[in-house]
């Protein structure tokens, strides 16, 4: 997508309604016929743009997966997103990225799809993945580190996505829910799934996948009260291309900083500041047991610190954290 068409698209997204042709001509310093040509380019790219005489142009809906032409001009990365694979539909972006990684895909390779037929999260739960509204993305990483450090990566990704959401939607207050979710208005807006192939002392590759509810509205009935979207909470459409670029820019920077440290180190203050579970009474479900206690922070390795009833603090490496009802505290 050319820069002028990209600017027109962003103007229509920001307005959320009609923008007059006269206003676009003045802002872009071009003729009506030139504006019309770029509107045509946007329509050819899959964007539904309504034109009404006397009112101007309006973006009816955002459709189609973000493509390299939209995202690349917004990147300041070295490797993240420089190999960009945009698909209309896929079973799972993680499955596709894993296959590419096994074939030697370079670090920073990005797979994005407009919809998924087999989207999944942790514990192999299904991830609802309708077309035209959300971000479904997977990134190939090749950290030169032992596999013991890989469980820290979801929190690096969460910090990056949190920062990007806050940048693009400054009116929202977002939180990171250990170990891999983003929460807005008490409901889930993003989930992160990391998968890897490794040996004890060597990591062949890691695939970081995330599903982010961007313009989903309404939420499916089965997810009412559980999930939300950026559009629902802001009351406006959010550019998936701009948001994806912001995520990739932040993720690469935080990832490079993390590689230079021995653990999560400098990320811990931000992770704890924006922690959804901070100081709350929890029940953590693991495969063979249930732990209860109060959240007491994060370890440098990204383990949740749980203060038990006897006052001891234990690190929890994995599990499903739930808030305990008040009468059980």
Q: What is the pTM of this model?
A: 0.80
DSSP 3-state assignment of 283?
Answer: strand
DSSP code of 303?
P
Buried b (16+ CB within 10 A) or exposed e, 106-132: ebbbbbbbbbbeebbbbeeeebebeeb
Q: Among 11-15, 51-55, 58-62, 247-251, name the most confident range.
A: 247-251
pLDDT band per the 50, 70, 90 thresholds, residue 172: very high
DSSP 3-state assignment of 174?
Answer: strand
Q: With 50 as the cut, is the pLDDT of residue 328 above it? A: no
Q: With 60 as the cut, is the pLDDT of residue 326 above it? A: no
Do 191 and 180 form a contact (C-beta atoms < 8 A)? Answer: yes
Average confidence (pLDDT) over 179-190: 96
pLDDT in tens, 61-72: 555 667 666 788
Mark the binding-site residues for biotin, compressed into ranges: 92-94, 116, 120-122, 188
pLDDT in tens, 200-244: 889 999 999 999 999 998 888 888 899 999 999 999 989 999 999
* Cα maximum dimension of the chain: 74
pLDDT in tens, 128-148: 667 888 999 999 999 999 999
Q: With 70 as the cut, is the pLDDT of residue 317 above it? A: yes
**The residue to which tokens 């959010």 are assigned:** 238
CA-based angle 70:39:166, to the nearest 5? 40
Question: What domains sit in the chain, N to C, each tagged with a CATH number?
Answer: 3-61 (1.10.10.10), 68-272 (3.30.930.10), 277-328 (2.30.30.100)
CA dist 181 and 189 (Å) reads: 8
Mark the binding-site residues, compressed into ranges: 92-94, 116, 120-122, 188
So what's the pLDDT on residue 61? 54
CA dist list (Å): 259 to 2, 150, 179, 285: 35, 11, 19, 30
Q: What interhelical angle do 3-15 and 32-44 show, nearest 10?
A: 80
Residue of 48 and 42 predicted with greater confidence = 42
Residue of 329 and 273 predicted with greater confidence = 273
Beta-strand (E) ranges in 145-302? Answer: 174-177, 181-184, 187-199, 202-212, 281-285, 290-298
274-280's contacts with Cβ under 8 Å and 24+ in sequence apart are 274/162, 274/174, 274/175, 274/176, 275/175, 275/176, 275/177, 275/178, 276/175, 276/176, 276/177, 276/178, 276/181, 276/183, 277/177, 277/178, 277/304, 277/321, 277/323, 280/323, 280/324
Residues linked to residue 229 through DSSP beta bridges, in sequence order: none
Residues linked to residue 116 through DSSP beta bridges, in sequence order: 90
Q: Backbone phi, then psi, for 229, in 5-degree steps?
A: -140, 165
Q: Which two tokens stand for residue 104?
A: 């030697």
So what's the pLDDT on residue 83? 93
pLDDT in tens, 293-312: 999 999 999 999 999 999 99
Residue of 233 and 47 predicted with greater confidence = 233
CA dist 80 and 59 (Å) reads: 29
């Amino acid at each position: 997508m050319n820069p002028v068409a990209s600017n027109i698209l962003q103007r229509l997204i920001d307005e959320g309604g009609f923008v007059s042709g006269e206003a676009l001509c003045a802002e872009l310093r071009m003729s009506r016929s030139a504006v019309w040509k770029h509107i045509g380019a946007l329509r050819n790219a899959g964007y539904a743009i309504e034109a009404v005489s006397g009112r101007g142009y309006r973006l009816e809906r955002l459709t189609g997966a973000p493509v390299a032409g939209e995202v690349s001009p917004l990147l300041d990365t070295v490797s993240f997103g420089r190999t960009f694979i945009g698909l209309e539909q896929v079973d799972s972006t993680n499955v596709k990225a894993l296959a590419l990684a096994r074939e030697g895909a370079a670090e920073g390779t990005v797979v994005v799809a407009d919809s998924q037929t087999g989207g999944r999260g942790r514990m192999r739960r299904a991830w609802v993945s309708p077309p035209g509204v959300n971000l479904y993305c997977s990134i190939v990483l090749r950290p030169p580190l032992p596999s013991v450090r890989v469980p820290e990566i979801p929190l690096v990704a969460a910090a990056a996505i949190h920062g990007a959401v806050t940048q693009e939607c400054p009116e929202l207050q977002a939180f990171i829910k250990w170990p891999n979710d983003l929460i807005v208005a008490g409901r889930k807006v993003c989930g992160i799934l990391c998968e890897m192939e490794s040996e004890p002392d060597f990591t062949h590759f890691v695939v970081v996948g995330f599903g982010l509810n961007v313009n989903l509205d309404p939420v499916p009935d089965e997810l009412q009260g559980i999930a939300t979207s950026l559009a629902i909470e802001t009351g406006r459409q959010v550019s998936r291309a701009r948001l994806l670029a912001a995520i990739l820019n932040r993720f690469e920077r935080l990832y490079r900083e993390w590689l230079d440290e021995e653990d999560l180190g400098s990320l811990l203050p931000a992770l704890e500041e924006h922690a959804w579970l901070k100081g709350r009474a929890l029940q953590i479900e693991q495969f063979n047991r249930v732990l209860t206690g109060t959240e007491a922070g994060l370890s440098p390795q990204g383990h949740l610190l749980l203060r038990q009833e006897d006052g001891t603090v234990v690190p929890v490496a994995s599990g499903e954290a739930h808030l305990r009802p008040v009468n059980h505290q």
